A and B are shown apart, each in its own frame.
Chain A
Amino acid sequence: MKYNKLFWIFIIIFLSINIQLVISEDSKEENYCKSLGLPDDCNIVGSGISITSPAKTLTFSSGSYVIIKDVKFENVKSGNIQLDSKGNVVSGLFSVNERGGYYNFNSTSFTAPPNSVVLLDKGGSAILTVPNNSEIGELPKSDNGNGSIVRYVGENLKFPGDHILSGKLDFYPSGEVVIASSLDSLDSDKKPIRTSIDGIYLDLDQSRIAKVFFDGKTHEGNYVSFGDKNLIISSSGNMIYTEFDKANPYVKIDSGDYVDIIVGENSGVELTDTNSELIPNLKVLGKNVEVIEDSKSVRIGQENNLYVSRIGGHDESTTSPLRISYNLEGEFKDYDFLVDNFNRMAFIPVDQENSFVGLETINTLMSARLSWNYPSLDEVKSLTGQEIQFDEAIPQGTKDMVLGRMRDYWDQLTIADQKAIKGIYIDTSEHVTKDTSGIGIAYENNQYLTFSSSEESFNYQVLVHESTHALHDALRNELIESDPELKKIQDTINRNYQMMDELYYSTYRNVETLLQNDVKKLTADELKEIEEYQQLIVATPKLIEELDQKTQEKFDFENKWLINTGKYDKVELKEVEGKKIAVYKDPDLNPDVSAYDYLYAYQGRNKFEDIAVTAEYATVLPEVFAEAINPSLDKYDTTYGPKLKNKLDYVHSIGAISDNDYNRVLKLAGFIK
């Protein structure tokens, strides 16, 4: 009972204090009519507002508010509002506080997210500059359909329906959502403000507008209609430019991909089959449509012909899968232009040719009368001048992968490398790794390269490495051919090999079998041939060594190389899990990282690998190379760093690395700016 009394006393005191506060606040609310030079019944009240009378300017300060004809402007950090002679708001510029606000201007209500800046312009529009990543919970509403245009400007703004806006978007009092040309307003850096909705950049000619819908249906005029599974872009007169970003839900955009659709007068496109396993289908209606896929522009030109132009500045190795379907009067009523993820294209008159293109995998067939960048032996031969041969056990899909990569890599090799390669053979990884534990082989003295076909093995790094072997051998062979002394030794070696082959296949192999069975059955001739064979086996390696030594002495490049690097005595082969791998003799050193003047242990095996790895790293891993030769780094080795830098110069001097790659390493290492 005692507690009940106390409780009620407490409640009464609490309510009294609150009533006092409310009365006190109400008592602070002022009628600004008189201060503004307006009639007393102008219906403008507020608190904390500074008035500038002749200009009829209301200036906000923290915690202030004003109610103008029953419309409240609150949660304003700072700024002002201008009134006309009748007390109506005609303009204003104010910043909203952290609570955000909901305002009305010219009979249009709109949400201002926290910390927005609101500009009410004299033309009757409200422009809200909104902090990045803000959420706009409610779209602007007009009381009578004749109010203000409300524009939101910001990055990554989230609108109802989870639509994401970057740039600017206008909401008309009629309820229409409109995008304006980027050129109609500039940002603080005086750059045009580009607009992106759901990962698609949209733009128009100067001072032009297009409506935006989120229903995926067709409409009148210039418009873009975003659907759950389709997108329509249509123009009744203006150019509408679109560019697809990675975030868009309609077209697959990988890193480096670029898709742009330009829709002109009386034309349109509809993108369907999005969000499915199929390639998105872009149906083109009308003549004035241009689709840009990375480095290619596809457009309809004179006499309804479809043209493809090359454009610069974009990646060429991958593309965004797209089926572009045309319906035009002409020889073919319907035709498709197909682009897959590997820059392969096909042009297919519908109902006359069959086609199938996979969205993700290259291991698919694409049959078309007109195919573009579909890797084939013919194409790669025309491009590289090389007759690439495959082991018959390699499946077609793997061949496609290798050919596609070869097509993309070939141009990146230096001209010297390209010229040095005499043949390329692609073998199964089982065959390649069986003898060498490696993934590529350059057969010495003949410039023929063999690569493993496995997806992870055949890559640009391996190609550069083996191509450098080919170039090195080409230079040696050139010297040997031009020097009588060397040529004589080489000819003897060749002759020895030929004789050994003949003896082995004619007699010795059989004799081997005979020896195992009954040694007494050997004839005098057979014994003589065995002796001859064994002599050759001993003599030939010595000749090879002699040739190598003499070639080295006369080969300026190798001479310099060996003086620079010294003996190859810091690395050995070690058997790990049945495979021989190169490791540093010093067990404390990790074979995968740089030590001495090697970028990794394998480089220290011999001069051939030393040269090939130098070119390989300078081309494909320039950062690693640069780190090892950068004198400004603490870990720079003053003994071996300069040697490694010399190696870089030497491989550049023979054309094993391009000027660009060479300069890139020097730049990264701080040698040049």
Chain B
Amino acid sequence: MKKRGQITVFIILAVILIGGIIVLFSINNKSQNISGFETGNVETFILDCIKETGTDVAYRVGDGGGYYFPPNFSTASGIAYYYSDGKNYMPSKKDIEKEISYYTAKELFFCTKNFVDFSDFNITQGEITVNTSIKEKEIVFDVNYQLSISKGVNTKLLEKFNKVTVPIRFGILYDSAEQIVNEEIQSDAVCLTCLANVSLKNDFFVHMFDYKNDSVIFIFRDEKFPVESNVFKLTFANKYKLAKNKYEIQ
């Protein structure tokens, strides 16, 4: 009997705990409701903007091999070199996350357009900070966007928009590229079977083409999960030592 009582207390505590977490989570993701009026449309609009801007930036960064603007070591058309002269020049996943975060924060403004579509509200904005996590099959954005939304005498504060997820397989493509680059450090050649293995396993396509006489540009294309029929691409270039003739390769 005593035991049954203890179990009931535990269940009640668990329910309270879970309930508390859900409430906290919902506050974090939405708003601090100070004066109780509906700002749902504004919130949805911002979430859509984060998704749209984050996707655009991630696509551009993928196209640039992890960079929004071409790094110093890149082709004339701005494709980042990942491998050259036996060395790995890939940007780290952390660096790419920072790149996406920085430019998503910069560009979010162009999506929200100063909230001109919400003339019913008086909206003032604070600083935007974005924290990006590149996962295997998705990119997660945690955005701090301080907003004060007023309507008449009522004011509502919004700040955190966490766990905004877009289904971009950046992580898989990045890991695959890293695998290839690490392999090529050993061989200084394009490993076709390695590329076939990794692209079949992860279901993406590889397009390659010659660049100058010593480099190959790679485009990893994720045709499986296009966002609005737009294919996500990770583009990079590898530069090889040029063998002069067949006997040198032996």
Across-interface contacts of B240 in A (CB, < 8 A): 309-310
Partner among A305, A316, A369 whose Cβ is within 8 Å of the Cβ of B213: A316
Whether B210 contacts A304 by the Cβ 8 Å rule is no
Q: 7 closest Cβ contacts across the A-B interface?
A: A385-B77, A307-B189, A309-B189, A308-B190, A305-B193, A372-B208, A306-B192
Q: How far is the CA of A311 from the CA of B248 in the complex (A)?
A: 9
> Which of B19-27, B130-138, B194-202 lies on the face that meets chain A?
B194-202
Whether A316 contacts B189 by the Cβ 8 Å rule is no
Instruction: Indicate whether A371 sits within 8 Å of B206 (C-beta atoms), given known contacts A301-B189, A302-B187, A306-B193.
Output: yes
Q: How far is the CA of A407 from the CA of B212 in the complex (A)?
A: 11
Minimal beta-carbon separation of B19 from chain A (angstroms): 49
Q: How far is the CA of A373 from the CA of B219 in the complex (A)?
A: 11
Interface positions, chain A 405-436, Cβ under 8 Å from B, are: 407, 411, 415, 418
Partner among B183, B188, B193, B221 whose Cβ is within 8 Å of the Cβ of A335: B193
Instruction: Indicate whether A332 sits within 8 Å of B193 (C-beta atoms), given known contacts A309-B243, A312-B243.
Output: yes
Q: How far is the CA of A532 from the CA of B198 in the complex (A)?
A: 66
The reply on A382 being an interface residue by CB < 8 A is yes
Whether B208 contacts A371 by the Cβ 8 Å rule is yes
Minimal beta-carbon separation of B196 from chain A (angstroms): 6
Whether A370 contacts B195 by the Cβ 8 Å rule is yes
Interface string of A346-385 (1 = CB under 8 A from B): 0101001000000000000000011111111011011111
The reply on B214 being an interface residue by CB < 8 A is yes
Centre residue among A313, A330, A373, A378 by max chain B CB count within 10 A: A378
The reply on B217 being an interface residue by CB < 8 A is yes
Across-interface contacts of B206 in A (CB, < 8 A): 369-371
> Which of A292-300, A537-545, A585-593 lies on the face that meets chain B?
A292-300
Q: How far is the CA of A290 from the CA of B79 in the complex (A)?
A: 30
Across-interface contacts of B78 in A (CB, < 8 A): 385
Whether A316 contacts B210 by the Cβ 8 Å rule is yes
The reply on A262 being an interface residue by CB < 8 A is yes
Across-interface contacts of A304 in B (CB, < 8 A): 193
The reply on B249 being an interface residue by CB < 8 A is yes
Residue contacts A-B, CB under 8 angstroms, 16 given: A260-B246, A297-B246, A305-B194, A309-B243, A309-B249, A310-B240, A311-B246, A332-B193, A332-B196, A332-B197, A335-B193, A347-B192, A370-B206, A378-B233, A382-B209, A383-B209
The reply on A337 being an interface residue by CB < 8 A is yes
Whether B76 contacts A418 by the Cβ 8 Å rule is yes
Minimal beta-carbon separation of B145 from chain A (angstroms): 32
The reply on B17 being an interface residue by CB < 8 A is no
Across-interface contacts of A518 in B (CB, < 8 A): none
Q: Which residue of B lies closest to A376 (CB)?
A: B207
Across-interface contacts of A312 in B (CB, < 8 A): 213, 242-245
**Which secondary structure characterizes the binding site on chain B?**
mixed
Number of interface residues of B (CB under 8 A): 47
Across-interface contacts of A556 in B (CB, < 8 A): none
Partner among A311, A374, A385 whose Cβ is within 8 Å of the Cβ of B207: A374
Instruction: Indicate whether A378 sits within 8 Å of B207 (C-beta atoms), given known contacts A260-B246, A309-B240.
Output: yes
Instruction: Indicate whether A382 sits within 8 Å of B243 (C-beta atoms), given known contacts A332-B196, A369-B200.
Output: no
Whether B195 contacts A347 by the Cβ 8 Å rule is yes
Whether B79 contacts A382 by the Cβ 8 Å rule is yes
Across-interface contacts of B190 in A (CB, < 8 A): 307-309
Minimal beta-carbon separation of B83 from chain A (angstroms): 13
Across-interface contacts of A313 in B (CB, < 8 A): 244-245
The reply on A557 being an interface residue by CB < 8 A is no
The reply on A213 being an interface residue by CB < 8 A is no
The reply on B211 being an interface residue by CB < 8 A is yes
Centre residue among A343, A349, A382 by max chain B CB count within 10 A: A382
Interface positions, chain A 74-133, Cβ under 8 Å from B, are: none
**Which secondary structure characterizes the binding site on chain A?**
mixed
User: Which residues of B pack against A, CB within 8 Å?
Assistant: 63, 75-79, 183, 186-197, 199-200, 205-217, 219, 221, 233, 235, 240, 242-246, 248-250
Across-interface contacts of B248 in A (CB, < 8 A): 311
Whether B243 contacts A307 by the Cβ 8 Å rule is no
Q: Which residue of B lies closest to A374 (CB)?
A: B207
Across-interface contacts of A25 in B (CB, < 8 A): none
Across-interface contacts of B233 in A (CB, < 8 A): 378
User: Which residues of A pack against B, CB within 8 Å?
Assistant: 239, 241, 260, 262, 290, 292, 295, 297-299, 301-302, 304-313, 316, 330-332, 335, 337, 343, 347, 349, 352, 369-376, 378-379, 381-385, 407, 411, 415, 418
Whether A311 contacts B249 by the Cβ 8 Å rule is yes
Whether A310 contacts B214 by the Cβ 8 Å rule is yes
Whether A383 contacts B77 by the Cβ 8 Å rule is yes
Across-interface contacts of A347 in B (CB, < 8 A): 192-193, 195-196
Q: How far is the CA of A311 from the CA of B78 in the complex (A)?
A: 24
Whether A384 contacts B196 by the Cβ 8 Å rule is no
Instruction: Indicate whether A295 sits within 8 Å of B192 (C-beta atoms), given known contacts A373-B208, A378-B219, A385-B78.
Output: no
Whether A310 contacts B243 by the Cβ 8 Å rule is yes
Whether A352 contacts B244 by the Cβ 8 Å rule is no
- Known contacts A301-B191, A302-B187, A385-B77, then 8 further A-B pairs from the complex at CB < 8 Å, ordered by chain A residue: A297-B243, A297-B249, A305-B191, A306-B191, A308-B189, A347-B193, A370-B195, A373-B209
Q: How far is the CA of A382 from the CA of B76 in the complex (A)?
A: 10
Q: Which residue of A lies closest to B201 (CB)?
A: A331
Q: How far is the CA of A308 from the CA of B181 in the complex (A)?
A: 14
Instruction: Indicate whether A310 sits within 8 Å of B209 (C-beta atoms), given known contacts A302-B187, A305-B194, A382-B219.
Output: no
Instruction: Indicate whether A299 sits within 8 Å of B187 (C-beta atoms), given known contacts A369-B206, A370-B195.
Output: no
Minimal beta-carbon separation of B181 from chain A (angstroms): 14
Q: How far is the CA of A305 from the CA of B187 in the complex (A)?
A: 10
Partner among A262, A305, A306, A375 whose Cβ is within 8 Å of the Cβ of B246: A262
Instruction: Indicate whether A384 sits within 8 Å of B246 (C-beta atoms), given known contacts A307-B187, A369-B206.
Output: no
Across-interface contacts of A384 in B (CB, < 8 A): 77
Across-interface contacts of B216 in A (CB, < 8 A): 310, 372
Minimal beta-carbon separation of B224 from chain A (angstroms): 12
Whether B193 contacts A371 by the Cβ 8 Å rule is no
Partner among A295, A309, A337 whose Cβ is within 8 Å of the Cβ of B188: A309
Q: How far is the CA of A385 from the CA of B77 in the complex (A)?
A: 5
Whether A373 contacts B192 by the Cβ 8 Å rule is no
Q: How far is the CA of A455 from the CA of B243 in the complex (A)?
A: 35
Partner among B186, B189, B193, B210 whose Cβ is within 8 Å of the Cβ of A373: B210
Across-interface contacts of A411 in B (CB, < 8 A): 212
Q: How far is the CA of A313 from the CA of B186 in the complex (A)?
A: 24
Q: Which residue of A lies closest to B219 (CB)?
A: A378
Across-interface contacts of A383 in B (CB, < 8 A): 75, 77, 209, 211, 217
Whether B192 contacts A307 by the Cβ 8 Å rule is yes
Centre residue among B207, B213, B217 by max chain A CB count within 10 A: B207
Q: How far is the CA of A307 from the CA of B212 in the complex (A)?
A: 19
Whether A290 contacts B249 by the Cβ 8 Å rule is yes
Across-interface contacts of B210 in A (CB, < 8 A): 295, 310, 316, 343, 372-373
